[in-house]
Amino acid sequence: MIITCPYCGPRDLVEFSYQGDGNRTRPDPASTDQATWNDYVYDRINTAGDHREIWQHAGGCRVHLTVVRSTLTHEIRSVALTRDAGHRRSGGHRRAEAGDSTGPVSGSAEAQP
Amino acid sequence: MAEYSAFALLKNALSGNTDWKPAWRKAAPKPSYDVIIVGGGGHGLSTAYYLAKEHGITNVAVLEKGYLGSGNVGRNTTIVRSNYLLPDSIRFYEHSMKLWENLSHDLNYNVMFSQRGVLNLAHTPAQADDYIRRGNAMRHQGGDAEWLSAAEIGRRVPGLDVSAKARFPVVGGLLQPRAGTARHDAVAWGYARGADRRGVDLIEHCEVTGFLREGDRIVGVVTNRGEIRARKVGVAVAGSTGRVMKLAGIDKLPIESHVLQAFVSESIKPFVDSVVTFGAGHLYMSQSDKGGLVFGGGLDEYNTYAQRGNLPLVEEVMSEICAMFPAIGRLRLLRSWGGVMDMSMDGSPIITKGPLPGMYLNSGWCYGGFKATPASGWAFAWTIARDEPHAINAAYTLDRFNRGVLIDEKGQGSTPKLH
Amino acid sequence: MSGRRSETGGLIDRSRTVRFTFDGALYTGFAGDTLASALLANGVSLFGRSFKYHRPRGVLTAGVDEPNALVTVLKGGVREPNIPATMLEIHDGLSAVSQNRFPSLAFDLGAVNQLGGKLISAGFYYKTFMGPVIGPLKGTRFWMLCEHFIRRAAGLGKPDFAPDPWRYERMNAFCDVLVVGSGPAGLAAAKAAADRGARVIVADLDQRMGGSAKWTDDTIEGMSAADWAASALKDLTGRQNVTLLPRTTVWGYYDGNTVAALERVTDHKAVAGKGEPRHRHWVIRAGTVVLATGAFERPLVFPGNDRPGVMLAGAAARYAGEFGVLPSGRVAVFANNDGAYRAAAALKEAGADIAAIIDVRSDISAGARALAGRAGVEPMLGRAVVGTAGGKALSSIRIQSYDAATGAVSGEVRTLDVESLLVSGGWSPAIHLASQAGAKAIWDDELQAFLPPESPGSWIGAGAFTGTFTTGGAVAEGQAAGIAATGGEVATAVDDTAEDDIDLRPAPVFEIRADGKAFVDLQLDVTAEDVRLAHREGFVSVEHLKRYTTLGMGTDQGRTSNVPGLAIMAEAQGAPIPEVGTTRFRPPFAPVSIGALAAERFGELKPERLTPMHDWHVEQGAVMYAAGLWLRPQIYGQPGETVEQAYVREAKAVREAAGLVDVSTLGKIMVQGPDAAAFLDRVYTNVFSTLPVNKARYGLMLREDGLAFDDGTTWRLSETDFLMTTTTANAGKVMQYLEYFLDVVWPDLKVHVTSVTDEWAGAAIGGPKARDILAACVTGTAVDNAALPFMGIVHGEIAGVPVMICRLSFSGEMAYEVYSGAGHGQPVWDALLAAGKPLGLVPYGLEALGTLRIEKGHVTGAEIDGRTTARDLHLDWMLSKKKPFVGSMMMDREGLADEDRIKLVGVISLDNRPLNGGAHIVEELDRDNPRDSIGHITAVCYSPALGKYIGLALVKGGKKRHGARAYTSDPLRNRFGPVEIVSHHMFDPEGKRMHG
């Protein structure tokens, strides 16, 4: 399998570390809804088909990539920097020092190559 | 149907082997059953067998989309063991071991279970303590485990590098003498024949494409061979659990599908007797009766439903086996294959009633499903027949993840690729 | 077939005689011979014994499809079993022996198995050997007794245990076009692609490139095929953009056009060249793959078809054309297609004595008739071979009339004396690699073969691979493939008209049913009757057939048997062949040496990680201990000391004076940026944003699921810079965990993390004299309690080296971690030792480190084992209630909050005997029937401070049991004894010593 890292170009599977399902949304850290947390930590849609997932270019630039890849054929449909992928699978975090709730983070790109 | 025996072999040989009958009927689906088992693999077939044998429920159909035993029961490294750490695991796998020990007689089918021992090599004193903890856990629950010194291991497994100059010297090993290997296909065929002899319909090339529902309740399945109704529907489709459960509207489960590769060398005269595992990596090896060295390692570590793996894992596995057996470099790899595993979030299985009324789920075997085949079917049959789990599978619920009652043998948490 | 060397011809080098031995007898051949060709030329016909019945077997093929002629090579003092004689190039001194026979190849006791033939038909194992249900052989015992003998009888070659003396090598390669196969199609493709400027790699499993061009009598572009191939190869050899890889088997087609190939670099040499590996494992990333892998000829299945002397017609033509070896004696040809006639004609013209052509068809093409004429025989049409005779070599065949429509044999049996029988049952394209790549084969009724599907673009087929069996067609398809693979437009349709006007479509005949054993899989002794037995018993799908009969499971991977086996099953079912199915091929295409795939990791599995002070430790006689990949000093033993004496001495010295330990292996991560403190607040359970600059704090991380993950101290070096330390074992995992949160979950945080584990050398000095020692060697800073309070950080110099010192303690003593640049670790270490020598400073290893931490009840990986919670380890004081953190919402779930979970305690041996890690704890001791474990011991030592053997344990209920008596139960080591369960804080629970 070859994944094209936006920074490093096409690289072999051996350089990448699979970081799992990219469809999950991390709840707002302040959320106390246990069911939401359980769902985030344990439940997977486990798609048979095009699967959105996170890979880290661990043997290269160490950036995280959002890859859409067929779990039936392993064909890779798209690769994007997770920071840029509109994939902020996270609720915002209450900043401990300021206490300002940022709410869910938008998908705006702030990553610099 | 005739019993198999040496006498039957002789009698049939004399008549030119023309009188043998099919090992099981090619049944056509009836409109309804008491129980439908989706999945004609090892676990589905053994469930059907024990439903009939232990619970007298014979109006049962096993639906298989391909041929019987085409899933992981036919693509594994055939290891049978119960050398687990945690009480819930030991209880279940010990039960399985006891069923294995009498399985050929029970089925009147030689599944070739050979108790040649499984030996886990430890390479540091800390790892030795860890393995001894596990062996002691087994002993405290009535299992068998022994600790071998490096010298004893050297005598038992000639060819293994037990020298101090090895990159990861062997300091000892945990042996489970009753563990071993079985002929994987024979397990599927033996259960199939046994279930068939008790009246179960085994329906091959019958793919479930949907579930029949009345309100919330599952009342049957839709297949490429028509609708089939049932009072109870059990799902035992390792590797396809995600896909099949989606047909029932269950979109998420604590499971990811991953591929595990396995390898066989060319056939050679006896090279290794026990099953041996490597503690400084992830590798297990045994030798089949035909002479091939059968071995495997870790997962490819990405979600997949394709029964194909990739090269980095192949190279990793070959590197580790060479580290264990320095003679093996010149032997040759003959075949490889991949099986799709239901990797659960704590590495332990699920055998439970639900998640919908009328439905029962058997899944999450990670890569330990083969050795579980007898107990899995036995416990699943119990759960289906009585609508409650047996003590051996009471812990294997679907809600244990949310409740935090985890059975995490490897202590890796909700990262399925690491289990 | 045995053979004889022709006077001329072949690509062997007749000027160079090669001497070798087979089963101890000395033979000669020519350079360029295979063992098979050389032995055939010497008149040898018996090469081996079959797997199950131990029947004598000869050579069936001339290549990688060989099922019979497997030998063991003795080289380098070791045995290499199962090498096909057809792929083994001879060299001076080569020594090969036959396999699976005892005591000798000619007289094999195992042949007694033939007497039980019907008894040991397919699947017989499953029906017997179950044994008695009671008595000493109940359960699995009877089977295991039988199995003991079955295992010895099974297996092919005999291995040995001597370490493999060879070296293997891995090579990464990249190309625009990888051409697999160098026959006419492959060479044409390579040329076309290379002409268009592409980077091209051509791989071929044979020693000489050229494929069928090496032996066919066809012409290409007006010259003989062999000349054409030679000139094409010469042309390609000279090009910068072309790499030719002979002796290279492409065996694996993985995702993303990643292709694996094995090059046999020195197997054919008596002495390897300097630096040459035995095999080279090529990993080729190709833009496009051209599959020009040819086709395998199929034999016909008929009684006695396994006798030495029976060979594929194409193989005989190849032996003649490539090796100058002709079949000896009178030769018969038996076929269902016109192709075999070309072999007959070519062999006749090369000097062979063609006695007959027997054809199952009642009518043949004009071209075939003409070829028969060239072969000098009138073909016997509508006939079939129904039997063979001869002991270890063919002496005669029996022929009867045959009705191809019904498969019936009838009429008078005619016996023909022949020494060689050349058979041809059609051709099967070598679609294995395409199948590996995911292609589904399509049955072609015309060619009676599985063909590859349309090209998906990632690979393009050419030549016999696609079912184009003519040389001209192959060249044209190859050219087209080479152009298409480089993005060019190809318009011309391929002209696949046979040169001799012959009909390449075989008759759909696979088996002649008559009396006697007819073999489908020659290597594993699967007969046509076995296939029918499988059908009778319901094992009808292709996978069931394979698994029940073992058809196609041998080292030849069923190249000559798959399709005949399917055809026999299809006939039994009354179904067309594709309904039975075809096997999906998986890697490897042909067997590959395991060592080659390990390559540079063979003997060097993983690198060792060494600290900057490693050499010093070794010089001091430290016993080194593997901690993951790191090597760390276990003890610095003195002469005559036991391990326990050494660590007790070292630990005592720390408590009484001072000790120095190498902590360079701790994970170290720089966490930097304006949001660094906020980030740490999220990933640690406790608060770091309140930590002043130049102070450190102990931190705990949980996993997302709320269980304990890792601990360590983190040092605030400035408002925006933190140095985080992790446990040695988890350094990599923590780094990935931080990166994941920063990149995926909270990309809004302005934080960067950098692993600096290898940048710093770390030395921890602890003990009552530690401060005095530091004061004696540190310049540029004070180290007194005011300047360097507990958890304080200062910067200074030791031995002229800038250092960073943090006062923190793992041992419970007043202690300091001194970090310097990794390259300067040794001088700092030396200076600390020198300064401490007058005060009794000793270096200490992991055992003493463990002892000190056990006395203090500090946890490590043995307790943070992925199954324990912060509460289990009494670290709940670190769980901030003021802020959410990773795992905070998951850590209190019912299963994790259960009071009955196993929790950290201390244990003290009450019989003054050592405790053992991994021992369990029980309330009531029962040595014979151990049961009811309430926990286990995680770490043990002799505590010099307490004068007792102590340990840490995880025990159900934890604190509730403090003061209770229990027992260790360790049946594996047969050690049992009384213990007292106590608090895990066993020494200086108030921590006076480290604060002092």
- pLDDT at position C491, please? 67
b/e per residue C827-854 (b: at least 16 CB within 10 A): ebbebbbebbeeebbbbbbbbbbbbbbb
Residue written as token pair 């320095």: B326
Q: What is the mean pLDDT of residues C662-666?
A: 97
Q: Please state, in angstroms and as integers, the Cα–Cα distance from residue B89 to each residue in B141, B368, C956, following that order.
A: 11, 11, 18
> Chain A residue closest to C882 (CA)?
A96
Question: Which CATH number applies to B29-82+85-107+184-255+346-418?
Answer: 3.50.50.60
Greatest distance between any 2 Cα atoms in chain A: 48
One-letter amino acid for residue C863 of the chain = E
Are C983 and C905 contacting, i.e. CB atoms less than 8 angstroms apart? yes
- pLDDT at position C103, please? 80
Higher model confidence: residue C152 or residue C949?
Answer: C949
The answer on pLDDT for A47 being more than 90 is yes
> Which residues of C fall within a CB distance of 8 Å from A62?
739
> Chain C residue closest to B267 (CA)?
C155
**A interface residues, B as partner, C-beta within 8 Å:** 1, 12-14, 17-18, 20-21, 34-35, 38-39, 41-48, 51, 53, 69, 71-74
Whether the CA torsion B279, B284, B286, B291 is positive or negative: it is negative
Q: What is the mean pLDDT of residues B42-60?
A: 98
> Which residues lie across from B218 on neighbouring strands?
B213
**B242 closest CB neighbour out of A14, A38, A46:** A46
- pLDDT at position C496, please? 59
- pLDDT at position C489, please? 85
C173 in the same domain as C275: yes
**C156 closest CB neighbour out of B4, B266, B323:** B266
Calpha distance C451→C444 (Å, rounded): 7
**B302 closest CB neighbour out of A18, A42, A45:** A18
Q: Last residue of some domain: C53, C82, C115?
A: C115
**B20 closest CB neighbour out of C533, C543, C603:** C533
Q: Best of C704, C743, C890 to disrupt the A interface by mutation (most A CBs within 10 Å)?
A: C743
Cα–Cα nearest to C934, from C888, C901, C972: C901
What element of type H or E holds B312? Answer: helix B311-324
Exposed, middle or buried by CB within 10 Å (0-12, 13-18, 19+), for A113?
exposed
pLDDT tens per residue across span C415-450? 999 999 999 999 999 999 999 999 999 999 999 999
User: Percentage of residues in chain B with pLDDT exceeding 70?
Assistant: 100
Cα–Cα nearest to C203, from C172, C236, C231, C179: C179
> Chain A residue closest to C436 (CA)?
A73
Homologous superfamily, domain A2-84:
Folate-binding superfamily (3.30.2270.10)
**Banded model confidence at residue C501, pLDDT cuts 50, 70, 90:** confident
Question: Do the domain assignments include residue C985?
Answer: yes
For chain A, the domains span: 2-84
* Range in B54-68, C135-149, C333-347, C785-799 the model is least confident about: C135-149
C170 in the same domain as C75: no
- pLDDT at position C121, please? 85
* Range in A85-89, C48-52, C301-305 the model is least confident about: A85-89
- H helix runs in B124-221, sequence order: 125-139, 150-156, 184-197
One-letter amino acid for residue B239 of the chain = G
Are A6 and A65 contacting, i.e. CB atoms less than 8 angstroms apart? yes
**Banded model confidence at residue B336, pLDDT cuts 50, 70, 90:** very high
**Banded model confidence at residue C502, pLDDT cuts 50, 70, 90:** confident
Q: Token pair of C962, please?
A: 């403090």
pLDDT tens per residue across span C952-981? 999 999 999 999 999 999 999 999 999 999
Cα–Cα nearest to B394, from B366, B352, B336: B352
pLDDT tens per residue across span C894-946? 999 999 999 999 999 999 999 999 999 999 999 999 999 999 999 999 999 99
- pLDDT at position C572, please? 96
Residue written as token pair 């409650």: B388
Question: Do the domain assignments include residue C923?
Answer: yes
- pLDDT at position C917, please? 97
CATH of the domain at C218: 3.50.50.60
CATH of the domain at C28: 3.10.20.440
C171 in the same domain as C261: yes
> Chain C residue closest to A87 (CA)?
C744
Q: Token pair of C614, please?
A: 């490693």
CB atoms within 10 A of CB B258: 29
> Which residues of C fall within a CB distance of 8 Å from A87?
744
- pLDDT at position B1, please? 56
pLDDT tens per residue across span C804-834? 999 999 999 999 999 999 999 999 999 999 9
**C890 closest CB neighbour out of A41, A64, A92:** A41
> Which residues of C fall within a CB distance of 8 Å from A40?
704
Q: Are the beta carbons of B124 and C626 separated by less than 8 Å? A: yes
Q: Are the beta carbons of B303 and A51 separated by less than 8 Å? A: yes
User: Percentage of residues in chain C with pLDDT exceeding 90?
Assistant: 90
Q: Are the beta carbons of A41 and C682 separated by less than 8 Å? A: no
**Banded model confidence at residue B10, pLDDT cuts 50, 70, 90:** confident
Chains with 3 or more CB pairs under 8 A to chain A: B, C
Are C819 and C762 contacting, i.e. CB atoms less than 8 angstroms apart? yes
C92 in the same domain as C191: no
**Banded model confidence at residue A91, pLDDT cuts 50, 70, 90:** very low
From A54's Cα to the closest Cα of chain C, the distance in A is 9
Q: Are the beta carbons of A34 and C681 separated by less than 8 Å? A: no
DSSP, residue by residue, C40-65: HHTT----EE-TTT--EE----SSTT
Calpha distance B359→B387 (Å, rounded): 10
Instruction: Answer whether B223 touches C (CB < 8 Å).
Output: no
Q: Are the beta carbons of C162 and B327 separated by less than 8 Å? A: yes
Question: Do the domain assignments include residue C553?
Answer: no
Whether the CA torsion C808, C813, C814, C816 is positive or negative: it is negative
Q: Are the beta carbons of A110 and C747 separated by less than 8 Å? A: yes
> Which residues of C fall within a CB distance of 8 Å from A37?
889-890
One-letter amino acid for residue C815 of the chain = A
Please report the number of interchain residue pairs, chain A to chain C, with beta-carbon separation below 8 angstroms: 93
The answer on pLDDT for C603 being more than 50 is yes
C282 in the same domain as C180: yes
Instruction: Answer whether B139 touches C (CB < 8 Å).
Output: yes
- pLDDT at position C131, please? 84
The answer on pLDDT for C112 being more than 90 is no
The answer on pLDDT for B222 being more than 80 is yes
- Strand pairing report for C420-424 and C310-312: parallel
Mean pLDDT of chain C: 95
Number of structural domains in chain C: 4
Q: What is the mean pLDDT of residues C221-245?
A: 96
One-letter amino acid for residue C40 of the chain = L
> Which residues of C fall within a CB distance of 8 Å from A95?
678
Question: Do the domain assignments include residue C463?
Answer: yes
**Banded model confidence at residue A113, pLDDT cuts 50, 70, 90:** very low
pLDDT tens per residue across span C455-475? 999 999 999 999 999 999 999
ipTM over 0.90: yes
- pLDDT at position A85, please? 65
**A42 closest CB neighbour out of B254, B305, B417:** B254
**A2 closest CB neighbour out of C285, C438, C687:** C285
C745 in the same domain as C597: no
Omega before C843 within 30 of 0, i.e. cis: no
Question: Do the domain assignments include residue C953?
Answer: yes
Calpha distance B77→C207 (Å, rounded): 35
Q: Are the beta carbons of B310 and C255 separated by less than 8 Å? A: yes
From A79's Cα to the closest Cα of chain B, the distance in A is 15
Phi, psi for residue C428 in degrees, rounded to 5: -115, 115
Cα–Cα nearest to C846, from B124, B174, B169: B124
Q: Are the beta carbons of B168 and C602 separated by less than 8 Å? A: no
DSSP, res A28: P
**C143 closest CB neighbour out of B112, B130, B410:** B112
Instruction: Answer whether B222 touches C (CB < 8 Å).
Output: no
Question: Do the domain assignments include residue C957?
Answer: yes
- In the 3-class helix/strand/coil scheme, how is C573-594 assigned residue by residue? HCCCHHHHCCCCCCCCCCCEEH
Question: Do the domain assignments include residue C828?
Answer: no
Q: Token pair of B220, please?
A: 């049957």
C598 in the same domain as C451: yes
> Which residues of A fall within a CB distance of 8 Å from B253?
43-44, 46
Residues 6+ apart with CB under 8 A from C242: C190, C194, C199, C200, C201, C202, C236
- pLDDT at position A97, please? 37
The answer on pLDDT for B400 being more than 50 is yes
Chains with 3 or more CB pairs under 8 A to chain B: A, C
Instruction: Answer whether C743 touches A (CB < 8 Å).
Output: yes
Instruction: Answer whether B20 touches C (CB < 8 Å).
Output: yes
Calpha distance B89→B368 (Å, rounded): 11
Q: Last residue of some domain: C757, C783, C817?
A: C757
- pLDDT at position B42, please? 97
**C543 closest CB neighbour out of B70, B159, B338:** B70
Exposed, middle or buried by CB within 10 Å (0-12, 13-18, 19+), for C195?
middle
**pTM of the predicted model as reported, rounded to 2 decimal places:** 0.95
One-letter amino acid for residue C582 of the chain = T
Q: Are the beta carbons of B303 and A73 separated by less than 8 Å? A: no
Instruction: Answer whether C705 touches B (CB < 8 Å).
Output: yes
* Range in A89-98, C295-304, C943-952 the model is least confident about: A89-98
- Residues of the domain holding C714: 667-757
Q: Are the beta carbons of A96 and C254 separated by less than 8 Å? A: no
Question: Do the domain assignments include residue C367?
Answer: no
